[in-house]
Structures are given as structure tokens and as C-alpha cells.
Structure 1
Amino acid sequence: MRAAIVTGPGQIQISEVARPEPAPGQVRLRLEGCGVCASNLTPWAGPEWMQYPTEPGALGHEAWGFVDAVGEGVEGLSIGDRVAALSYKSYAEYDLAEADAVVRLPDALLGQPFPGEPLGCAMNIFHRSEIKAGQTVAIIGIGFLGAILTRLATDAGARVIAISRRPFSLDLARSMGAAETIPMEDHSAIIEWVRELTNGTFCERVIEAVGKQWPLDLAGELTRERGKLIVAGYHQDGPRQVNMWLWNWRGIDVINAHERDPKVYVRGLREAVNAIASGRLDPSSLYTHRYPLERLDEALNDTRDRPDGFLKALVTF
């Protein structure tokens, strides 16, 4: 099979390697595609702790495709089933997954890309946020995740204030149901804008979906007394400082909405399958860019640089 190997900072090679064989309890997937996650960007940049070359297919973890082989003891999955999975070397034509981390895709999703891991993450973050009708919810950072959360929160009856840097993202937020949009330009001006929109009380829920220091600072400022600040952004570039005086004084509940239990990931994935298959959620417009495996480096660079109109990259086979 062909697989991508990261050979150094910002460098890949496509190699022919042996197809992996499923162990007991595993299935092998013949992949249709894999989403590109922003969590790849730090390894791609070459931090001191990163070791090269990577294993074939490494970093790819948003896969979907067809069951190609079944290991001993696997029940409920058959060769030919179209599935999404939690797998971890999916920048390749084939990958392995534990059978209990695989979710069958219904015929209603035939032909549609399905990067299950981030879709499941969105459902899990929404649950951890405990968003209810009548609440005001600020979402900071309208990328793939922020756009889906805007739709879910709006459908739950919340009033969403979307805050993002790019005009493209703000237009997208409005299309996903945001009641208000604010350019992410001036820290103090955003605080005053939200203060006016909420009659001085700020927001019952604030979701930080960027993963940087400034948006985290802003999120605390926009959370009302006894509100919830949900950290959905992936903070991977070092320690953070927080305004503990403000968080403590307002009695803010801070939720790090990153699940580590594979069972919870799979539960969210199943919920995403049901929501999209039923038509309650339509992420199709969010998959803005597609690349063949040979252009994975370009996909990663665009995920980093975010050219105009870019939201989510898919590597497809």
C-alpha cells in the first residue's frame, strides 16, 4: 500500500509499504479518506520532542472507508461494510482499528465523506457544554468545529454569538444559525460588544475553539457569573496563563472538553452518524478542500495558513 511518512519538519515522502494484518479483535480498513486535523500542525512544524521519520500513515486519525479484513473474534462487522473509525495511521491506503472503535455508516451516507473523529468530538463537546434553550452562547473561533457547534447550539434554542477572525468564517457562522457575529480584532471592543448584546450579564456558555492564549483570555471575560467556559481548542504549544482572579470571582466552571475514553469518542461518533443520516446536521459545505495523498504536505500547509475560503481539508483516495 501507499503511505505517507513525515521525514522531517514540513517534509513528507510517499512510500510503498506492506499492508498491515489485523490482530484478534481488529479490522483492516481500505480507506476512502482521512480528514486533516489541526493537531497535526505541531508535529509538522518540528518541535524538539518530535522524532522522524514517523511510522507509515502516522498523524492521520479521521478515517473512513470499507472493512477489508477481519481479525479473529470480531463480531458484528463484515468485509465490505462502510465505516468510520478511530484509527491512528490513516494517511495511508489501509489502516487497522479495534473493532469496538468502528461504526458502520448507513446507506443514507453513501458517497459522503465522513471524518468521524472530529464529528464525534463536536457531539461530545456539545454534551459537555450543557447548552439549553434560552441561553446565550459565545463561540470563539469558527472553524470546522466551531461551525458545527454553532448549528447544534442554535438548534437547541440558544442564541449564538460567533466570534472569529476571517470574514469567511463569520459568513459561515451566520449560515449555521448564529444570531450575532463579531470580528475577532480588538479585545476590549469585543468585550464591550458582548456586554451590550447581553445587557451587561455576558454569556451562560462560552466555547473557546481556537487553542491559543488570546482566545482563552477572551473566553474568560465573556463568561457570566456561574457560567461555563468550555475549552474545546487544542492547546498544544506550551503552558497557559489564566486570569484566576476573574475566574474565581465569577465562579466560572471551566470544562476541558477533550475526551480520552475511546468509548466516549465512539458514542459521539455514533451520535454524529445518526444526526447526519437523519438530516438534522449537514456538514457537507464544511469540507472545503480535498487533496490526494501525494499532496498531504499541501493539505497540512493550508490547514496551517488557512487561505481564503479554507475550512477543512480531506485527503481522499
Structure 2
Amino acid sequence: MSIMLTLEKTALVKAPLMRAAVVTGPGTIRIDHVLRPEPGPQQVRVRLEGCGVCASNLTPWDGPEWQQFPTAPGSLGHEGWGVVDAVGSGVTTIEPGTRVATLSHASYAEYDLADAAAVVPLPPTLDGMAFPGEPLGCAFNIFRRSDIRAGQTVAIIGIGFLGAILARLASDAGARVIAISRRQSSLELARGHGAAETILMDDHQAIIDQVSNLTHGRFCDRVIEAVGKQWPLDLAGELTAERGRLIIAGYHQDGPRQINMWLWNWRGIDVVNAHERDPKTYAQGVCEAIEAVTSGRLDPTPLCTHDFPLEQLDKALNATRDKPEGFVKAVIRL
């Protein structure tokens, strides 16, 4: 028995470990050293270079009743990129050494596993660039489902990483973009990404009146709500024209919402929930983002404004919540 215990201890000592962030309670983290995962059938393991910090992390970070602590090592991180360093059985589409964007869910760590179909190769021209593929892919999927065309007026409520990219895509498509956000720096960002008009998000009726004046009372063919709160959702309905399309891009995770169905009915609004769940569609959006960046149509680098090491994930999450001056997106570097 003692020989077996000694062998088990020796195996554990030699087992490769990795650093992974664990959220231990509301607003607190620790860095654990845990076993490096091994890829199973049809899986790849990625040695992560970095992971974007998503605003969807903020509700679990705040510690609602439904959140369980401690979290699994690396969990909440889902915007990773890095280099494939091992593949499981049956993987024939990707080789170790390939740099990829990942669609996985435990990327606040040095390594993460993903299905082989859920990683998208990055071309050499993007070497060295931070590439949070998941939110970039989301932006392109939202844009596709918005059906934005030349000559339309498009309001975007909430200008951060996602809103800025959508402003660029919409303006490049020939649409007139009205950007609405609560920070002046965000409005400047929107203007730099093609917005024709900007409105400070501080007074509900004043915003409605300004958009009405800008559109001669017709309002907007497309309205993208990219905040994920009740008030912006209310405002989005008010700004959508008759037979217009309201696109919900904000992540509404903090409870039920109420809507003005009378208004939505009366105006005949089409409502699109732009959150995708099909892995193939996710990957398609990432591929479209890669093409846009490599062709020079889009540069996400200036939008990744704040870098943090893994040990400062708490500071990265707090910055995502508090949005210090000039903040757009935080990135964890590994």
C-alpha cells in the first residue's frame, strides 16, 4: 500500500500544472495551480496567449444568488486566442503549432480545451495581434442579422467594443449611423468609426426628440440595442421606425424585462434577438472578422485599451464595470 501511495504522489508531482483564475466570491479571485487538461476525442488544447474580458462576466462577478463559488478554474473566460499545442484522437483538420481564435469557456487560464470545430485558424499576418475572436465574431453575426443596407438610418445604443465595430460596419455599408452612449469618449469613438451623428445618453425624451428631428419624424430603419439594460431597451423601441427592425445585441442576464408591446405592435416592428448559439454560425462570424481585419477594413487593436496579467483579473473585471476614462475593452495577457 505504501508503495502505491508513493507512486501516486510521484505521478502528481510530475503531472504538468497550469495557472488558472478562480472566482472565490463576489469581487474576489485567486490563482490556482491545477492539472493541465488533456484533449479528448475531436478536441484540441490551446496554449493561450490572451483572453478578452466580456461584460457578461460582470453579473457573476457581482455574486447574484444563483452564482456558485468557487467557480471552475478558468471559467467565465470565453474570448481566448493562442496556439494549438495538442490534439485529441480523430482531429484531422488542425495541427499543433496553429495559431487560433477559440470558442471555448475556461480561458482565464494558461490552457483551455475546445472542440476542433470551435477553433478558427489565424493567418500569419495577424501574428502578435490580440485577437478576441468570439466578440469580433458576434459583431459580424449581429451585423448580418441586422440586414443593414445603404441609405438606411441606423441607431446604435451603447458604444463600446461591440457598438464601435457595428458603427464601422454599418457606415461602411452606406448607412447613416446615429450613435447614442453615456460617455463623451464613447461618442468620440463612434465618430472615429463612422457615426454621422452622436447623442449623449442622459435624457430619455430628449434623445427621442433629437432622433425625431434628425429623421424628420420617421425614426430609424434599424436600431441596435447593445447595452443589456431596461432603459436602453425601452429607448430602442421608441427610436425604431414603422416596419423597422429592432436588434437586441445587449446581453440581458440580470432578470426579466418589460416591453411596450403596444408600441411594438402599432409600429409593426420586427424584433431580432441577435445572440447566436449555433457553433457553426459563431465560427462563420469569426471567419468574417478575420477577413475584415486582414483586408484592412477593420482594426480592433485600438479597441483593446487595457491589458492585465492573469493575476489581475479582478482589476480587469472592475475596469470593465467602472469604465475609467478611455476604457473600451480589457484583455488578459498570458
Q: 1:76 offset after TM fit, Å? A: 2.0
* Residue 72 (structure 1) aligns with: 89
SS at match of 1:17: strand
Q: Does 1:273 align with 2:273?
A: no
Cα deviation code 1:267-304 (max 9, x no counterpart) = 11111111111111111110000000000000001101
Q: Does 1:297 align with 2:309?
A: no
* Residue 26 (structure 2) aligns with: 9
Matches within 5 A, 1:200-279: 200-279=217-296
Which of residues 95, 103, 110 is equivalent to 2:120? 103
CA distance in 1, matches of 2:287, 2:198: 31
* Residue 12 (structure 2) aligns with: none
CA distance in 1, matches of 2:294, 2:126: 6
* Residue 52 (structure 1) aligns with: 69
CA distance in 2, matches of 1:183, 1:158: 20
* Residue 111 (structure 2) aligns with: 94
CA distance in 1, matches of 2:306, 2:289: 21
Amino acid at match of 1:55: A
| Aligned pairs, number | 317
Give me the identity figure in percent.
74
Which of residues 47, 50, 63 is equivalent to 1:30? 47
SS at match of 1:246: helix
* Residue 83 (structure 1) aligns with: 100
CA distance in 2, matches of 1:76, 1:261: 20
SS at match of 2:35: coil
Amino acid at match of 1:296: L
Cα deviation code 1:70-90 (max 9, x no counterpart) = 111101211111000101000
Amino acid at match of 1:206: V
Cα deviation code 1:124-173 (max 9, x no counterpart) = 00000000000000000001000000000000000000000000000000
Amino acid at match of 2:304: Y
Amino acid at match of 1:44: W
SS at match of 1:194: helix
Amino acid at match of 1:256: N
What's the C-alpha RMSD, in Å, of the aligned pairs? 0.5
* Residue 115 (structure 1) aligns with: 132
CA distance in 2, matches of 1:277, 1:19: 33
Cα deviation code 1:91-125 (max 9, x no counterpart) = 00000000001110001111100001000000000
SS at match of 1:49: coil
CA distance in 1, matches of 2:112, 2:171: 36
SS at match of 2:66: coil
Amino acid at match of 1:241: Q
Structure 1 runs of 4+ aligned residues shifted over 6 Å read: none
SS at match of 1:190: helix
Amino acid at match of 1:67: V
CA distance in 1, matches of 2:206, 2:62: 33
- Normalized against structure 1, the TM-score is what? 0.99
CA distance in 1, matches of 2:217, 2:69: 51
Amino acid at match of 2:321: R
Q: Does 1:156 align with 2:173?
A: yes
Q: 1:6 offset after TM fit, Å? A: 0.6
CA distance in 2, matches of 1:16, 1:286: 31
